[in-house]
Structure 1
């Protein structure tokens, strides 16, 4: 059974890194312990700095020595002690440090950065949900404006219909335009209330090109945020 990690971290004076070696001379990979003690226990940020002190930077500027085990060990100890918030902070730091100190390809670094800045690797998935709601509300307001400025036209078959359907007025023989439903069709993936089947941007109107572009952008953002939401809730974002 692993023993307790007991060291001293002074708040003042010359002590640095809890008397542990620094500058790439420390090796923590495989080091296990069952708890943390000491007369002046380190904070979470000090412990993270302690883990990072084992990395060394080569002549090319690249870092070497990254290992996930020290982070996982530290997070486990905090979680077992009931400090779940600190454990999440450590788990997030592990994935962020992988981008800085690990040997990742460019596309992997880009994916890591995206998960960090959006849903914190699945530990703050609510960010994606909030973003999706924000995009929906913004596009809903824009759809109401477009409705009253001639930027929405029928997308379905209007042959033989007189007068031609307009977004501001309901007709008995053509589906009405509802901004809330149209925003759902454009922003929320998979869900289809058939508003976008019957109405679309009027690219020939003044600023019609801008409205069409905004529609495509909202669709792209909707898919991206929904994907992040699923990745966060299913745990896929944490598999780094």
Structure 2
């Protein structure tokens, strides 16, 4: 037997503050109306994403297992439909359910979605910083992206300064100019190869050096913030 749950404009199913062994919400028609599972404890929640209504309430919902196993991309809309807005606990529960079955990739995607959803609640400067972290390293969940940015900026600087060597500050003391290591000197905030301090670009090439220095600091800061966040999740 399959029941149809419908309450247009109201709550189709309220099972809040319950302790349930198994709850099956699958097959049949899509739920019409809100689904309220706040504060419930469920051992096995069988939830077909196709049955989900446009409004759910999942605050403090705890479940041990979530079935059937579906990609994070299909589960994520469930969290974004919460009538209470951004509910961090719901993201943590979904993350934990994926980790319990060893799907770490899906768990990381849920955490990435959590950070992106949280960003929408921040003031403009917080959203700006969030966008930078997202683009640079995916909030620490896509660290290889930083390497791609670094290589791209290194290529731009190496070509630009390789075609137009900046003049040395002290010609008699300056080392041989190397466009690759000069660009690395600009990009890496801590490491020094002795190139940046020995040469002084002019005009547009000086502007490019400022841009590379700024991008280097942004990359370094976002990488540290992202790695710190990722490590703290372990």
TM-score by length of 1: 0.71
Aligned counterpart for 1:153 among listed residues 143, 153, 167: 167
Q: Who is 2:197 aligned against?
A: 197
Structure 1 residue aligned with 2:153: 135
The yes-or-no answer on 1:175 pairing with 2:175 is yes
Counterpart in 2 of 1:90? Answer: 110
Would the aligned equivalents of 2:71 and 2:106 in 1 still touch at CA under 8 Å? no
Deviation at 1:190, TM superposition (A): 1.4
Task: Provide, for residues 115-166 of structure 1, a one-character-per-residue CA deviation record: whole Å limited to 9, x for no partner.
Answer: 223211110011112211221122112111012xxxx21213xxxxxxxx4x
1:10-49 correspondence to structure 2 within 5 Å: 10=27, 14-16=29-31, 19-23=51-55, 26-37=56-67, 43-49=71-77
> By how many angstroms is 1:14 displaced?
4.0
- More strand as a share of residues: 2
Report the 3-state secondary structure (helix = DSSP H, G, I; strand = E; otherwise coil) of the residue aligned with 2:167: strand
Matched-pair contact (CA < 8 Å) for 1:129–1:229? no
Distance in 2 separating the partners of 1:236 and 1:91 = 10
CA contact (8 A) 1:3 1:35 kept: no
- Whose radius of gyration is greater, 1 or 2? 1
Q: Secondary structure at the match of 1:34?
A: strand
- Ranges in structure 1 where 5+ consecutive residues have no aligned partner: 56-63, 157-164, 166-170, 204-208
Quick one: which of 26, 50, 59 aligns to 2:78?
Answer: 50
Paired with 2:197 and 2:71, the residues of 1 have a C-alpha distance of 56
Quote the offset at 1:66 in angstroms: 1.8
Instruction: Name which structure has the greater RCO, CA cutoff 8 Å, separation 6+.
Output: 1
Q: Once the 2 structures are TM-superposed, how far is the Cα of residue 231 of structure 1 from its aligned partner?
A: 2.1
1:18 CA drift (Å):
5.2
Distance 2:72 2:230 in 1: 25
CA distance in 2, matches of 1:5, 1:123: 32
**Alpha-carbon distance in structure 1 between the residues aligned to 2:184 and 2:167:** 17
Distance change (3 Å), C-alpha of 1:142 and 1:43: closer
Partner of 1:59: none
SS at match of 1:36: strand
